[in-house]
Amino acid sequence: MRLKLHLCMFLASLTILAGFCQVNAGEIHPALIGPSRWINAGDSVDVWVIFEDRGFSDQESLIRALDQAERNLLPKARTRRQKVKTGRLVEERDLPVNAPYVQAVLDLGARYRTVSRYLNAVSVRSPYSLLQNLADLTFVKEVRPVAKGRRYEPESRWSLSTPPPMQPPGVDILDYGPSYDQLNQINVVAAHDSGYSGEGVLVCLLDTGFFTDHEALVNQPVVAEWDFINNDPETQNEPGDDPSQHNHGTYTFSALGGAHEGDLYGPAYGASFILGKTESIEFEQPIEEDWYVAGLEWADSLGAEVVSTSLGYFDWYTFADLDGNTCVTTNGVDVAVANGIVVATAAGNEAQSSWGHIIAPSDADSVIAVGAVNEEGEIAGFSSPGPTYDGRIKPEVCARGVDTWCAVTWGGGTSNYSDVSGTSLSTPLVGGACALVLEAHPDWTPMQVREALMATASNALTPDNYYGWGIIDVMAAIEYNFPPMIVVRHPNAGSFVTFIDTLQDFWISAVDEEGDPLMFSWWVDSEELYRGPDSTFSYCWTEAGTYIVKVLVWDDQLGADSTSWEVVVEPWTAIDPISSREVPTDFALYQSYPNPFNAATTISFDLPSAEYVNLAVFDLAGRPVGNLIASRLEAGHHRIPFDASGLASGIYFCRISAGNFNAASKLILIK
């Protein structure tokens, strides 16, 4: 008999902004003020203590610390960051948290849990009565709860179903046993036959622990491991652990990178691995996200190129929090991707639950969120659907997550296998696929790996909120030719030409990753007027009206990009740049386009009335990196170019204030 498990392993949590937004110094999060349904006055609570700064007295000290941090980068981490950053490879968020600040917190009676460079914070267990004392420390920015929840236990039963099919005899270079179908469905077998195995790629798994004595894992190269729960280097079960503690991590590790002839192969069986034990399964032990964030930072420091995690958080968040900017794990994933790490995460198993949505951190706009399909390619009934709260399609892609073959620890011994279901199992298949793509293209950035998998998946032409872009095709992703990308265009969309009988110039700047020669086709109102290598086009209108100008750019591999302008041509007597019917009715700040972007993007906003406007761009530390507007503007639709050619790759925020209107949006710069 084989044990069959339907895995539903996601974690409940509490909303956290985790220092990614500006707050007043010493603020206590509202969830911690006064006894509530989850805190009693006499309780001890786990909190983030977020600091105002890193404790540097002057700019020179900060620069010296950044220089030292860059010198300390391990070679693999340095190489990975060079793919996504120009100039300095580290930022202030890479610096250690100020040790005297941490000690001052502990001296008040709080008990240390872990520390986060990304958040500039320490997480501690503190008596509830001590929280105000923590907030009163002059260098404390905010005290926030650490997300916590209870595990939804997997449902298991002895299965009397027929054994899974084996691979056809006489084909392929490996004997996959029952794992053949799940790999062949995503074209991994063809990639293995072509020589790809993940060799040279460092993959991190964050999970409950790992039974590395299993025959499918015992010979896999584990270069580092850490137990964040017990603070030791052992990720297998230890004395005192629940016997099933390391089960879930064993499933995911083996599905991604296991290897045993005739029984199981993972997509990236030739990769190297680092293993982080970040989740406890003890029913009485809250599962808390500070270890997850610590695991991401640890993987970053060791040079991991892929992180695969099948853990998620949702129960204390509202759907409105799944906007790509709020949940602490979501922001942590975005930082990891900005540092060059490909991150694959489970979309969740909540389609039939009262929640019914994806779970954090799969709402991140840089992550590869993974849904689950069955052997026929049909979406699993439990696979969490999109969209995100802000309307983005999720998941990104799918793989086999119903009856996925993997190593198990049940029944004793080191040679047991079974099928397990859940997006927890489809995710490591995609994580392993990412390693194969990186082996073939070590210079590709995380967003390029993500694009290649999405653009070549089965539903790429008609993505939806169940399959996303569809079931991945690893060989097609490896062979993917990036189309040219328009990075700058002039004029901005919706231009107003206030002269008639006047020549108007249009131009674009396009790049092609492979350096292929580019061709351009210029159109005015559905009539092609030019085709050739010129990226500049001029046209003279002699009559007032509204016109559409479009340009298509393509390379010799037939990859293409396009953009268009709506041009309103008005006579000289037109005084107002827009007519009254076009005056916006509300303030609005739109997502910049393009985003992610390379070097330049356009920020658009609406003013329903004339206002004094401040528009600026900040880095994650809150430092201004671009002051774009500080003046009075008329009512209308406004579009402002932002040139980031002098900035390092990373995540930035655009903030606008106009009258009583304040808003912010995220910018992702990838070079």
CATH, residue 527: 2.60.40.10
Are 239 and 309 within one domain?
A: yes
Query: Torsions phi, psi of 452, nearest 5?
Result: -60, -40
Whether residue 524 is contained in a domain is answered as yes
Q: What is the mean pLDDT of residues 84-104?
A: 93
Residues shown for the chain: 671
How many other C-beta atoms are found inside a 10 Å radius of the C-beta of residue 441? 15
Are 424 and 528 within one domain?
A: no
Contacts of 386 (CB under 8 A, 6+ apart): 347, 357, 358, 392, 393, 394, 395, 465, 468
d(Cα 585, Cα 1) in Å, to the nearest integer?
A: 66
Are 457 and 436 within one domain?
A: yes
Of 463, 479, 495, which residue sits at a domain end? 479
What integer pLDDT is reported at residue 318 of this predicted model? 80
d(Cα 239, Cα 355) in Å, to the nearest integer?
A: 36
What integer pLDDT is reported at residue 434 of this predicted model? 98
Are 373 and 235 within one domain?
A: yes
Whether residue 18 is contained in a domain is answered as no
Q: Label residue 611 exposed, middle or buried (CB < 10 Å: 0-12, 13-18, 19+).
A: middle
Angle, CA of 236, 239 and 241, to the nearest 5°: 65
What integer pLDDT is reported at residue 602 of this predicted model? 81
Of 510, 540, 570, which residue sits at a domain end? 570
Are 84 and 219 within one domain?
A: no
**Banded model confidence at residue 22, pLDDT cuts 50, 70, 90:** very low
Whether residue 22 is contained in a domain is answered as no
Contact status, residue 398 vs residue 418, Cβ threshold 8 Å: no
Tokens of 166: 């084996």
**Banded model confidence at residue 416, pLDDT cuts 50, 70, 90:** very high
At residue 103, does pLDDT exceed 80?
Answer: yes
Q: What is the mean pLDDT of residues 152-178?
A: 61
At residue 618, does pLDDT exceed 80?
Answer: yes
At residue 494, does pLDDT exceed 60?
Answer: no
Query: Torsions phi, psi of 668, nearest 5?
Result: -115, 110
**Helix and strand element counts for the chain (H, E):** 12, 35
Number of domains observed in the structure of the chain: 4
**Banded model confidence at residue 571, pLDDT cuts 50, 70, 90:** low
Contact status, residue 81 vs residue 340, Cβ threshold 8 Å: yes
- Name which of 100, 86, 95 is nearest 66 in CA terms: 95
Residues 577-600 have pLDDT tens digits of 444 345 678 888 888 878 888 888
d(Cα 300, Cα 337) in Å, to the nearest integer?
A: 10
At residue 497, does pLDDT exceed 90?
Answer: no
395-409, 522-536, 615-629: which range is least confident on average? 522-536
Residues 318-355 have pLDDT tens digits of 888 899 988 888 989 999 999 999 999 999 999 998 88
Q: Label residue 25 exposed, middle or buried (CB < 10 Å: 0-12, 13-18, 19+).
A: middle
Helix (H, G, I), strand (E, B) or coil at 248: helix
Tokens of 541: 């209108």
Tokens of 368: 């590869």
Of 479, 511, 537, which residue sits at a domain end? 479
Are 558 and 664 within one domain?
A: no
How many other C-beta atoms are found inside a 10 Å radius of the C-beta of residue 398? 32
Question: Which of the two residues, 411 and 75, has the higher pLDDT score?
Answer: 75
What integer pLDDT is reported at residue 155 of this predicted model? 39
CATH classification at residue 447? 3.40.50.200
Whether residue 53 is contained in a domain is answered as yes
Whether residue 119 is contained in a domain is answered as yes
Angle, CA of 280, 281 and 282, to the nearest 5°: 95
Q: What is the residue-averaged pLDDT of the chain?
A: 83
408-412, 458-462, 654-658: which range is least confident on average? 408-412
What integer pLDDT is reported at residue 297 of this predicted model? 96
Are 252 and 278 within one domain?
A: yes
Q: Label residue 143 exposed, middle or buried (CB < 10 Å: 0-12, 13-18, 19+).
A: buried
Are 228 and 308 within one domain?
A: yes
Question: Which of the two residues, 528 and 5, has the higher pLDDT score?
Answer: 528
Domain that holds residue 560: 485-570
Q: Torsion angle, CA of 433/560/336/653, rounded to 10 degrees?
A: -160
Are 60 and 130 within one domain?
A: yes
Q: What is the pTM (predicted TM-score) of this model?
A: 0.74
Q: What is the mean pLDDT of residues 361-388?
A: 95
What integer pLDDT is reported at residue 146 of this predicted model? 82
The secondary structure element, H or E, covering residue 70 is helix 59-71
In sequence order, the β-bridge partners of residue 2 are 159
Whether residue 150 is contained in a domain is answered as no
The DSSP secondary structure of 372-391, one letter per residue, reads EE-TTSPBPTTSPP---TT-
55-69, 539-553, 560-574, 651-665: which range is least confident on average? 560-574
What integer pLDDT is reported at residue 284 of this predicted model? 41
Angle, CA of 146, 150 and 155, to the nearest 5°: 150
Are 427 and 508 within one domain?
A: no
At residue 393, does pLDDT exceed 60?
Answer: yes
At residue 457, does pLDDT exceed 80?
Answer: yes
Whether residue 12 is contained in a domain is answered as no
Residues 221-275 have pLDDT tens digits of 999 999 998 889 999 998 888 888 899 999 999 999 999 999 999 999 999 999 9
At residue 452, does pLDDT exceed 90?
Answer: yes
How many other C-beta atoms are found inside a 10 Å radius of the C-beta of residue 27? 14
What integer pLDDT is reported at residue 556 of this predicted model? 66
Tokens of 268: 């990236």
d(Cα 269, Cα 259) in Å, to the nearest integer?
A: 6
Residues 186-218 have pLDDT tens digits of 999 999 999 999 999 999 999 999 999 999 999
- Name which of 348, 316, 349, 389 is nearest 146 in CA terms: 316
d(Cα 513, Cα 485) in Å, to the nearest integer?
A: 9
Are 125 and 224 within one domain?
A: no
Encode 137-165 in three state secondary structure: CCCEEEEEECCEECECCCEEEEECCCCCC
Among 94-98, 312-316, 484-488, top mean pLDDT goes to 94-98
Are 473 and 505 within one domain?
A: no
